[in-house]
Amino acid sequence: MDMAALGRRGLVVLGCGKMGSALLAGWLVRGLEATSVCVIDPAPSDWLVRQGVRLNDDLPESPAVVVIAVKPQIMAEALPRIAGFGGGDTLVLSVAAGTPILRYEEAFGPGTPVIRAMPNTPAAIGHGISAIIGNAAATPAHLALAESLMGVVGQVVRLETESQIDAVTAVSGSGPAYVFHMVEALAAAAEREGLSPALATRLARATVSGAGRLLDARTEDTPATLRRNVTSPGGTTEAALEVLMDEASGLGSLMARAVRRARERSEELARG
Ligand SMILES: NC(=O)c1ccc[n+]([C@@H]2O[C@H](COP(=O)([O-])OP(=O)(O)OC[C@H]3O[C@@H](n4cnc5c(N)ncnc54)[C@H](OP(=O)(O)O)[C@@H]3O)[C@@H](O)[C@H]2O)c1
């Protein structure tokens, strides 16, 4: 992305909490001029104040992008402030979960290019994955711009339909919490086997983060291959996997139910 070109037209960020700040940090590191960013946020963090961006200041006439990173529940209150950017060439890029594109089209008017992105929490350390989907007015150039803007916090994948975003939310959006719970469950099991709480947590945490790093390092291997590599016939891992991979009561069926429930909840929230 040409940060200088982006900087000339300016960029507006509505809501700069955890996700907005992670994105902003990435753009600034990649050379975006801090003074070309206008942030609207009622209570800016100390970090944000130190960045030299324009805070709650006059807004540019026609910024290249307006990034929406407020919580969905305050959308109705926050959107009117930026509704004037609709109908032109300003791209509306929202990372808010649960707010459909139609809601932005209503607020910004027809013909406004809108792209929804669904990132996840590891974005905070540059290891997120975001899925993006645009409306009919979003051109390939807008999608490329959104991809580079979201790319500063991790990988980016493109969706074919907006309805896929509910499944994405249920998998990668909520997924980090499933993995954190896996650590809790593994630590609890370790305690039941007689280990101290501190040791149990340390083992579980390091195991999950170490396995995650291995996944990252060995992209040529499928997860199934990595699993098989640590499963010797008749060994301890195989004994545990027989329980975990049981068709009726194992992790597979439990995960399928959990993801289905999350997807349904995402659909419910989108309906309002
Ligand atoms: N964090 C994630 O991992 C993640 C993942 C996927 C999607 N998202 C989406 O990203 C969005 C932001 O999430 P977050 O975790 O970054 O939340 P957050 O940390 O609460 O950030 C939201 C920011 O918006 C500010 N704000 C409140 N009212 C405002 C207004 N009227 N105008 C402008 N700004 C206002 C908040 O200020 P106060 O703190 O003073 O209220 C806060 O700084 C959400 O829609 C969420 O669905 C986040």
Angle at which helix 175-192 crosses helix 197-217, to 10 degrees, equals 140
Distance from the alpha carbon of residue 70 to the mean position of ligand 1, in angstroms: 4
* 199-245 pLDDT tens trace: 999 999 999 999 999 999 999 999 999 999 999 999 999 999 999 99
Distance from the alpha carbon of residue 135 to the mean position of ligand 1, in angstroms: 23
Distances (CA, A) of 159 to 156, 162, 167, 259: 10, 7, 11, 18
Q: Identify the residue whose tokens are 């000339």.
A: 8
Distance from the alpha carbon of residue 19 to the mean position of ligand 1, in angstroms: 7
Q: What pLDDT is stored for residue 6 in this prediction?
A: 85
Ligand 1 binding pocket mutation candidate from 13, 49, 70, 166 (most atoms within 8 A of CB): 70
Q: Is the pLDDT of residue 32 over 80?
A: yes
Q: What is the DSSP string of the chain?
A: --HHHHHHH-EEEE--SHHHHHHHHHHHHTT--GGGEEEE-SS--HHHHHTT-EES-PPPSS-SEEEE-S-GGGHHHHGGGGGGGTTSSPEEEE--TT--HHHHHHHH-TT--EEEEE--GGGGGT-EEEEEEE-TT--HHHHHHHHHHHHTTEEEEE-SSTTHHHHHIIIIITHHHHHHHHHHHHHHHHHHTT--HHHHHHHHHHHHHHHHHHHHH-TTS-HHHHHHHT--TTSHHHHHHHHHT-TTTSHHHHHHHHHHHHHHHHHHHHH-
Q: What pLDDT is stored for residue 35 in this prediction?
A: 95
Q: Is the pLDDT of residue 2 over 80?
A: no
- The atom of ligand 1 lying closest to the CA of 78 is 31
Q: Is the pLDDT of residue 3 over 70?
A: yes
Distance from the alpha carbon of residue 182 to the mean position of ligand 1, in angstroms: 26
Q: What pLDDT is stored for residue 235 in this prediction?
A: 96
Residues contacting ligand 1 via CB (< 6 Å): 14-20, 40-43, 69-72, 74, 77-78, 95-97, 119-121, 173
* 100-128 pLDDT tens trace: 999 999 999 989 999 999 999 999 999 99
- The atom of ligand 1 lying closest to the CA of 98 is 47
Is residue 126 left, alpha or beta, with left meaning phi > 0 and alpha meaning psi from -120 to 50?
left
Amino acid in the structure at residue 86 = G
Q: Is the pLDDT of residue 64 over 80?
A: yes
- Average pLDDT score over the chain: 95
Distance from the alpha carbon of residue 235 to the mean position of ligand 1, in angstroms: 47
Q: What pLDDT is stored for residue 1 in this prediction?
A: 62
- The atom of ligand 1 lying closest to the CA of 119 is 6
What number of other Cβ atoms are within 10 A of residue 41's Cβ?
A: 19
Ligand 1 binding pocket mutation candidate from 56, 59, 71 (most atoms within 8 A of CB): 71
Q: Is the pLDDT of residue 4 over 80?
A: no
Angle at which helix 140-151 crosses helix 18-29, to 10 degrees, equals 100
Distance from the alpha carbon of residue 240 to the mean position of ligand 1, in angstroms: 41
Region 42-61 average pLDDT: 95
Residue nearest ligand 1's atom 40 by CA? 43
* 128-155 pLDDT tens trace: 999 999 999 999 999 999 999 999 999 9
Q: What pLDDT is stored for residue 112 in this prediction?
A: 97
Region 30-58 average pLDDT: 96
Phi and psi, residue 226, nearest 5°: -60, -40
Q: Is the pLDDT of residue 271 over 90?
A: no
Measured CA angle at 144 (ends 138, 146), to 5 deg: 75
- The atom of ligand 1 lying closest to the CA of 81 is 32
The token pair that represents 99 in the structure block: 């707010």
Query: Considering the chain, what percentage of its residues have pLDDT values greater than 70?
Result: 100
- Band (272; pLDDT cuts 50, 70, 90): confident
Q: Are strands 37-40 and 11-14 parallel, antiparallel or unpaired?
A: parallel
Q: Identify the residue whose tokens are 């086997």.
A: 193
